[in-house]
Amino acid sequence: MKLKHDCVRYVLLSLEAQGIGMFHCGVELSQMLPELVNDQYSEDDITYTFLQLLDGKYINARYDKYASGFSLMVFDITWSGHELLDSIRDDEVWNQTKKATSTLKSVSIGVLKNVATAVLTGIIKQNTGLPL
């Protein structure tokens, strides 16, 4: 499957909006899917994104594999996950980041974050005149 960058942003923003109860007890992915699936992202898109966010250490979760499938209990976003989200949260920054990387065939999450940080820095410089 292909990791969709827009879906990564969507999932992280959705997780951030969860209450503190998720932090203590966790939420099973299967319980979140009905709320997250929409016309843009299928159940497979969202599930794959969660698994990749776990693998990349952007979320804290417990993954259990069974003969009949798997379980993913999601607890929270990690520090690295918050850093990524904070770099791509703003719609203007996100749109400029996507535009800057649109001609490339392959863009890793790390590169995406670096481009978004550069875009954000440029916007701050432009708006404040600060020498960043």
- Taking only the tens place, the pLDDT of each residue in 52-97 is 999 999 999 999 999 999 999 999 999 999 999 999 999 999 999 9
Q: With b meaning 16 or more CB within 10 Å and e meaning fewer, what string describes 80-95?
A: ebeebbbbbbeeebbe
Q: Please give the torsion angle defined by the CA atoms of residues 97, 99, 102 and 104, in that order, rounded to the nearest 10 degrees.
A: -60
Residue range(s) of every CATH 1.10.10 domain in the chain: 5-78
* Residues 110-122 pLDDT 10s: 999 999 999 999 9
Q: What is the pTM of this model?
A: 0.90
Report the CATH fold assignment for 5-78: Arc Repressor Mutant, subunit A (1.10.10)
Phi, then psi, of 75 in degrees rounded to 5: -105, -50
Q: Is the pLDDT of residue 131 over 90?
A: no
